[in-house]
Structure 1
Amino acid sequence: MRRLILGFYVSLDGKSADGDNGIRDVMDSIDDPEQEEYFVSRLWEAGAFLMGRKTYEICAGYWPTSDHPSAKAMNEIPKVVFSRTLETADDWPETRIAGGDTAEEIAKLKAGPGKDLVACGGTEFMQSLIKLGVVDEYRLWVLPAITGKGAPLVPELDEARKLRLVKSTAFPSGILELCYVPADR
């Protein structure tokens, strides 16, 4: 069975890179070839990238013509965009639309063959996956910055969810990759 990995960049105070809180500027200012090479290798571990409509629209306008080191992986690995309003996903190769119930669509994808699924959408999409309880691994890329403002990655939950650290990797730039799984798995 495939796992769903939530991969996301956050500030040290847990704020997402969505919006105008300065995190994008921090990300753009970091020059860490070791982390970049490692990140690209992690991308190639994905059987498919999952995202919401907003992220799809941004990425479809960027990745197909990008020469960024991540572009080859982003363009060649299959993508699933979760949307009830998007009619086509022709702007980005290897993309299909999942328009049904999110939990049911995720269950079908997990039951299918192939490598793990990596959710790489925006904050709203990530929060919906966390609320649904469908995340099998949290892969957080913690940036060496605090913002004091912005959207938190984690939404309000009815109860705390205990996690277990399975891997951590530190990079020269101060970026940390922290990988957690639900403690009961």
Structure 2
Amino acid sequence: MADLVLKMSISIDGFVAAARPDSDWMFRGSTPDSAAWVRDVLAGAGTHVVGRRLFETWIGLWPTSESPMAAPINDAPKVVVTRQADFDLAGLSAGISPSSGPASWAETRVVTEFGEIERLKAEPGDYLLAQGGVSFARSLIAAGLVDEYRFAVLPVVLGSGEALFAGLPDELDLRLVSSTVFAGGAMGNVYRP
């Protein structure tokens, strides 16, 4: 079975989105060793499971990017989770071809129910890596689908914003599996329920 791993950047005061939309908080603590950790998390995924809004950003960025982060995203299959039954994946991916970008983007599939994620988890293979906005992440947590959390904990206090675990129906106990401290003060923390 494949685990569902949720990867998020998080401030030391527990926010995954800043109140100020123009804040660069996610990038201020980045160093080569922290970037390598993120790249390894991306590369270990058998499938990337992303929310619709993040996918719409990604498809305009990663297929033609030369960033070291692009290859592990481009090379793996992608699943877009959306509540929009009329989501136009074909329109978004029409411009992606082997000559203009990785073919794996054109092969992306859309799911509208978490039952599809449960079926993916039942298949053998490398972990499913979930990324997206706070509401997408909260939905996965509330549905009990997350087997592991990989947090890039940044040495930033936001004071306000969107807290990942706010509004969940019950308490959640997590066990720290590993913690890596990076040169810029960020940490890579891995937790399991």
Instruction: Give TM-score, length-normalised by structure 1.
Output: 0.89
1:158 counterpart residue number: 169
1:1-185 map, 5 Å: 1-17=1-17, 20=20, 24-85=23-84, 86-89=87-90, 90-91=92-93, 93=105, 94-99=107-112, 101-102=113-114, 104-182=115-193
Task: Quote how far apart the aligned CAs of 1:149 are.
Answer: 1.3
Task: Quote how far apart the aligned CAs of 1:60 are.
Answer: 0.9
* Contact 2:138–2:168 (CA under 8 A) maintained in structure 1: no
- C-alpha offsets along residues 50-87 of structure 1, whole Å, 9 cap, x if unaligned? 11111111111111121211011111111100123213
3-state secondary structure, aligned to 2:132: coil
3-state secondary structure, aligned to 1:174: coil
Q: Which runs of 5+ in 2 are unaligned?
A: 97-104
* Contact 1:13–1:148 (CA under 8 A) maintained in structure 2: yes
Q: Which amino acid aligns with 1:7?
A: K
Instruction: Give TM-score, length-normalised by structure 2.
Output: 0.86
Alpha-carbon separation, structure 2, partners of 1:73 and 1:53? 19
Alpha-carbon separation, structure 2, partners of 1:131 and 1:37? 30
Alpha-carbon separation, structure 2, partners of 1:95 and 1:155? 31
Task: Quote how far apart the aligned CAs of 1:21 are.
Answer: 5.3
Q: Are residues 152 and 31 of structure 1, via their aligned partners in 2, closer, same or farther at CA, if it must alter by over 3 Å?
A: closer
RMSD between superposed Cα atoms in Å: 1.8
